[in-house]
Amino acid sequence: MKASSYLIPTTKDDPQDAVVASHKLMMRAGLVRKSAAGLYSYLPLGLRILKKIENIVREEMDASGALEFQLPILTPSEIWKESGRWDKMGKEMFRIKDRHDNENCLGPTHEESFCVLVKPMVRSYKDLPINVYQIHTKFRDEIRPRFGVIRSREFTMKDAYSFHLDDASLDETYQKMRQTYRRIFARLGLATIPVQADSGNMGGSASEEFMVVSPIGEETLTLCDSCGFSGNIEKTPVVKKTSLASKQEEESIVETPGQKSISDVAQFLSVKEEETLKAVALSYDGKYVLVFLQGDRELNENKLKNFLGANELRPMGQSELTRFGLIAGFIGPGFAESSDLLILVDSILEPNFPYVAGANEIDKHKKGVQLSKYYDFSKIQTLDLSQSKEGDPCPNCGHALKAEKGIEVGHIFKLGQKYSKAFEISVLNDKGKATLTTMGCYGIGVNRCMATVIEQCNDDKGIFWPVSIAPFEVCLVSIAKTQEDIARVGEVYSSLKQAGIDVLWDDRDLGPGFKFKDSELIGFPVRLTLGKGFLEKNEITILNRKTMEEKTISGSDPKTLIEEINSLLRSLRKELDDRTKEIG
Amino acid sequence: MKASSYLIPTTKDDPQDAVVASHKLMMRAGLVRKSAAGLYSYLPLGLRILKKIENIVREEMDASGALEFQLPILTPSEIWKESGRWDKMGKEMFRIKDRHDNENCLGPTHEESFCVLVKPMVRSYKDLPINVYQIHTKFRDEIRPRFGVIRSREFTMKDAYSFHLDDASLDETYQKMRQTYRRIFARLGLATIPVQADSGNMGGSASEEFMVVSPIGEETLTLCDSCGFSGNIEKTPVVKKTSLASKQEEESIVETPGQKSISDVAQFLSVKEEETLKAVALSYDGKYVLVFLQGDRELNENKLKNFLGANELRPMGQSELTRFGLIAGFIGPGFAESSDLLILVDSILEPNFPYVAGANEIDKHKKGVQLSKYYDFSKIQTLDLSQSKEGDPCPNCGHALKAEKGIEVGHIFKLGQKYSKAFEISVLNDKGKATLTTMGCYGIGVNRCMATVIEQCNDDKGIFWPVSIAPFEVCLVSIAKTQEDIARVGEVYSSLKQAGIDVLWDDRDLGPGFKFKDSELIGFPVRLTLGKGFLEKNEITILNRKTMEEKTISGSDPKTLIEEINSLLRSLRKELDDRTKEIG
């Protein structure tokens, strides 16, 4: 491809609304343009990258035995009502009425559609397992689209759904997808960590997110340097620490005027925050719960929601607090029990430790509060309800955990029978008995992968693409001005094309400095310079964009030149191949 | 690919709602499934075909120098308001409000989006011409989706838009696209006719539709066997015929009680319909027009709309007729003239012929009405306003025209400056002067191409795919049951795969009759049968699906077998290649 008949609209300045490297660089390198909030157009260079990513995803999915489909984006409300998600999906789902007043949505995910489609095609256990996928446009009406294509409102997703006779088969496909995902990300040049994740409103039982560690990540990971444990902080178990010195103290009431927050109270009474009791009073789905946590801990709402099977969780309002005799800021053991109020105790609390707690009176706390004196620990629910944090012991080996931000690029779920039940998808087993199927689902954000690679592969000059998804593998920069010189460069270009090299010849009528900067900004893995040295002495300089290492060789013999280029490309490919092979 | 790990959900019965061959066969062959009215899911076999079509379109567009983009489906209402189409597009455009109450639509076409995107990238005449395209999902809320994917509500379209400094450059790209389209359709195996077309509400000046003659077509074409003229009936000029014998007759009033229609009056008075005058009284955009036509002719509303520059056209209501002194069924020259009522006379009417016409009184007509006695033909507007029909003289050579139904698979337009003006897209010309650009646009319905190929390539057994877009080029049908026999067939399959042959091995546990029927229904161009003859004597039968010609050869030597298959595939490819080469 010649740059003069291509479109390379690079810009010098960062766009005003861009705060992260990938967003800035995608705009500056002319890969995308913003059309509206959270909506991006892909320009030719950007689309080449996106298509290369899609192809890698497709190749690996096909190799895993999955079958590619393409389903409508518009999906009728009926099927969402059948699964119960029409109301649950909330404002993130774009809803649209057609001219006949039928309600539809722009599919944010396709469990329902694939269930309806696959159901009549699977009748016997012999038709299972089956893993179906598509690579297609998805829509989510994000309240705050941001970071360019990382969190946008319209994006390309690879979504797959597998159907199984039993859990063993589901687990086999789940493991195969795990392997397939690791291979895909390795081929894209992405270093990912699979972490145990909360499965959100997908209704699943087990799930893992594929995370790329990055300071711009919207998720927080917990990592253990010692045993290699990795988790999403939302799902990392918090295990008991023994940092509290055993202590004896009689219960007594102290005046704590205006000291409502844990930190205020701890400071006021000169105790550590972890020596205080935090009480969180919540309403969920029309019912009520009160949770006791160690003072220095935050409630993990997902853990609580999962335990309660709750859809919505919100703090109690004043009238609700009053109803249960609770006083905001001063709640502690000892208020009147009610059969309408569930009491839960975080499992890291010590039943016999004398905590500081609210006295259930305004401006008063109690010291020396032992939970065991108020609650029967053989009956009361104790469970892990607090949020993990950096420095917590690894749930696996006890070593201190690190916390890192991460970008989620893929997600695999064991859905279980939620959708099979809703859509009554059953097959005859080998004994002729109707058996409800079980399901898995597996997603990859294609555009997000593109941006995440840039987050990992950029320097002060711009992007350096992994060779597997570079828009062109080689960029040829020439400074020829005369017809004769242009013809000489043209011969080199033609010989590269004939050798099957994926090359862009920057033949634009621009200065060499400008072209160099463009090639480094866009990030072609290999650059050939055919400058003065070429015109005078047939010398060609080969640059490895990532390392910025240069090598000057003679360009007299096209064969030697091509072998030099191919040798560099091979070594770049080998890096990715080696990582992929390691996975198996 | 082995059929046992693939999905081939063929069915025996036609779906109830399918009335055309392509719809029936796409469903029966397991290529698509309906998800809702006008919404179809592509199954693996169908998607392979669709992707092959997309790739042919992409290859030819790229070869023409066009650049591929991908734009958001969601487009903000602002840009549609800028072009003036937000109101014009009517109910066919899906409109959607986002969570912030901003109005958007699901792009039914992308002139506006591409204009906004391309505008800042073209500054000088050196940046032109540029031809940009995408292959992406489009939405139209059809009032009556029908014929399966031929008229659906969500579909894949290739849409291209070119920008030019002047008309000469536009014409050059337009001709290149015309050539490119002919090559694309030839490669798909489609016989298309480019016809002059009405440009609808696209705002253009010249346009051609690529039509495939088919009884299920929704458009009517006029074709001349003599000179090769082809047109859309909506735009074919009607030229004067001299079939009316010259005749002298005095004007006289005749009683025609209850005879309102042309055919009633003609029969009642024993004259030919073409000897009567038809009067059509209409309202358009708040104004009024009365059109005189030859009695046997229908008004062509598009011709009238284009002349008037009208958006809406409707018959006058009773109060409007009364206001102008017109009596429905009995309108004729001689009513009181009004400056508010424009009178138009179809150009095939003879000013001096004594027609039968309404007498402007109930139940009365006049005989011997000469238009020239009522209207001054040096002042009155005469123009071509009637609908062309079979048997009309060819506007080019005078030979009688044929009328045929046609399916539109592509459309090229010269848009002119409509959008350049709306979006103020100008560049500096070679003298440094700002110059408004001019535009073209070019569309292909990808799914519709798939269905249209089936309309052209089917027989009582099913589909016979052109080899260029067949889901698999070769289907291998085996009846092996024992491990040993399966292994022998497997060896043949492996040798074909190694030779790069695109083969599906139907290794399903089904009877041979079933497999034969499936392969003929789905329409793989070449079938290999490894039946009893193979197991006993190493004989393999090769079938050409289109001609149903069979040839039995020895399968002992894989080389010979592969050469036989490749030879047949080459001859199938050559048919398409030859047609493509003819175009140039």
Nearest by CB: B41 against A36, A44, A69: A69
- Which residues from A are below 8 Å from B98, CB to CB? 94, 141, 153
What mean pLDDT comes out for the span A37-59? 98
Interface membership of B428 toward A (CB under 8 Å): no
pLDDT of residue B507: 95
- Which residues from B are below 8 Å from A52, CB to CB? none
Q: Kindly determine whether residue A106 and residue B96, on different chains, have CB atoms separated by under 8 Å.
A: yes
pLDDT of residue B202: 45
Interface membership of A118 toward B (CB under 8 Å): no
Instruction: Give the CA distances from residue B80 to residues B94, B138, B162, in Å, rounded to whole numbers and listed in that order.
Output: 13, 16, 19
- Which residues from A are below 8 Å from B6, CB to CB? 67
What mean pLDDT comes out for the span A557-582? 95
Instruction: Kindly identify which residue of chain A lies nearest to residue B100, measuring between CA atoms.
Output: A143
Task: Please give the structure tokens belonging to residue A20.
Answer: 């992260």
Instruction: Kindly identify which residue of chain A lies nearest to residue B113, measuring between CA atoms.
Output: A35
Q: B53-56, long-range: CB within 8 Å, 24+ apart, which pairs?
A: B53/B188, B53/B446, B53/B449, B53/B450, B53/B469, B54/B135, B54/B156, B54/B158, B54/B446, B56/B184, B56/B187, B56/B188, B56/B468, B56/B469
Domain residue ranges of chain B, discontinuous segments joined by +? 47-73+108-236+403-455, 252-383, 464-583
The answer on pLDDT for B372 being more than 70 is yes
pLDDT of residue B242: 61
Q: How many CA atoms lie within 13 A of A357 on its CB side?
A: 25
Burial of A378 (0-12, 13-18, 19+ CB in 10 A): exposed
DSSP B121: G
Interface membership of A44 toward B (CB under 8 Å): yes
Q: How many CA atoms lie within 13 A of B204 on its CB side?
A: 23
What backbone phi and psi angles, to 5 degrees, belong to A17? -90, 5
Interface membership of B99 toward A (CB under 8 Å): yes
CATH code for residues A465-583: 3.40.50.800
CATH code for residues A252-383: 3.90.960.10
Find, among B459, B438, B572, B461, the residue nearest to B516 by Cα: B461
Residues 447-506 of A with CB under 8 A from B: none
pLDDT tens profile A461-501: 999 999 999 999 999 999 888 999 999 999 999 999 999 99
Spatial distance between the Cα atoms of B49 and B31, rounded to a whole number of angstroms: 9
Interface membership of B117 toward A (CB under 8 Å): yes
- Which residues from B are below 8 Å from A69, CB to CB? 41-44, 47
The answer on pLDDT for A200 being more than 70 is no
* Number of continuous H segments (helices) and E segments (strands) in chain B: 16, 31
Q: Is domain B47-73+108-236+403-455 in CATH 3.30.930.10, yes or no?
A: yes
Contacts of B37 (CB under 8 A, 6+ apart): B145, B153
Spatial distance between the Cα atoms of B123 and B121, rounded to a whole number of angstroms: 6
Q: Is ipTM strictly over 0.85? A: yes
Instruction: Kindly identify which residue of chain B lies nearest to residue A155, measuring between CA atoms.
Output: B72
Please report which helix (H) or strand (E) contains residue A26, including its range.
helix A21-28
Distance from CA of A404 to the nearest CA of B (A): 32
Interface membership of B75 toward A (CB under 8 Å): yes
Q: Kindly determine whether residue A69 and residue B47, on different chains, have CB atoms separated by under 8 Å.
A: yes
Extended beta strands in A201-296, E state: 206-213, 219-223, 230-232, 252-255, 277-284, 287-294
B434 forms beta bridges with B428
pLDDT tens profile A529-545: 999 999 999 999 999 99
What mean pLDDT comes out for the span B149-160? 97
pLDDT tens profile A115-172: 999 999 999 999 999 999 999 999 999 999 999 999 999 999 999 999 999 999 999 9
Instruction: Give the CA distances from residue A123 to residues A118, A163, A427, in Å, rounded to whole numbers and listed in that order.
Output: 10, 12, 5
Task: Please give the structure tokens belonging to residue B112.
Answer: 């506006």
The answer on pLDDT for A202 being more than 50 is no
Top residue of A39, A93, A118 to mutate, by most chain B CBs within 10 Å, is A39
Q: Are strands A539-544 and A434-436 parallel, antiparallel or unpaired?
A: unpaired
Superfamily of domain A48-224+405-456, CATH level 4: Bira Bifunctional Protein; Domain 2 (3.30.930.10)
Find, among A406, A295, A399, the residue nearest to A356 by Cα: A295
pLDDT of residue B247: 78
Radius of gyration of chain B (CA): 30
The answer on pLDDT for A239 being more than 90 is no
- Which residues from B are below 8 Å from A96, CB to CB? 94-96, 106
The answer on pLDDT for B201 being more than 60 is no
DSSP A191: -
- Which residues from A are below 8 Å from B69, CB to CB? 41-44, 47
The answer on pLDDT for A312 being more than 70 is yes
Top residue of A59, A67, A102, A502 to mutate, by most chain B CBs within 10 Å, is A67
Spatial distance between the Cα atoms of A208 and A219, rounded to a whole number of angstroms: 13
Amino acid at B382: T
**How high does pLDDT run on average in chain A?**
94
pLDDT of residue A201: 46
Residues 132-191 of A with CB under 8 A from B: 137, 139, 141, 143, 153-154
pLDDT tens profile B60-74: 999 999 999 999 999
pLDDT tens profile B73-91: 999 999 999 999 999 888 9
Q: Kindly determine whether residue A44 and residue B9, on different chains, have CB atoms separated by under 8 Å.
A: no
Contacts of B429 (CB under 8 A, 6+ apart): B125, B165, B435
CATH code for residues B464-583: 3.40.50.800
pLDDT of residue A203: 45
- Asked which of B57-71, B241-255, B453-467 is least confident by mean pLDDT, the reply is B241-255
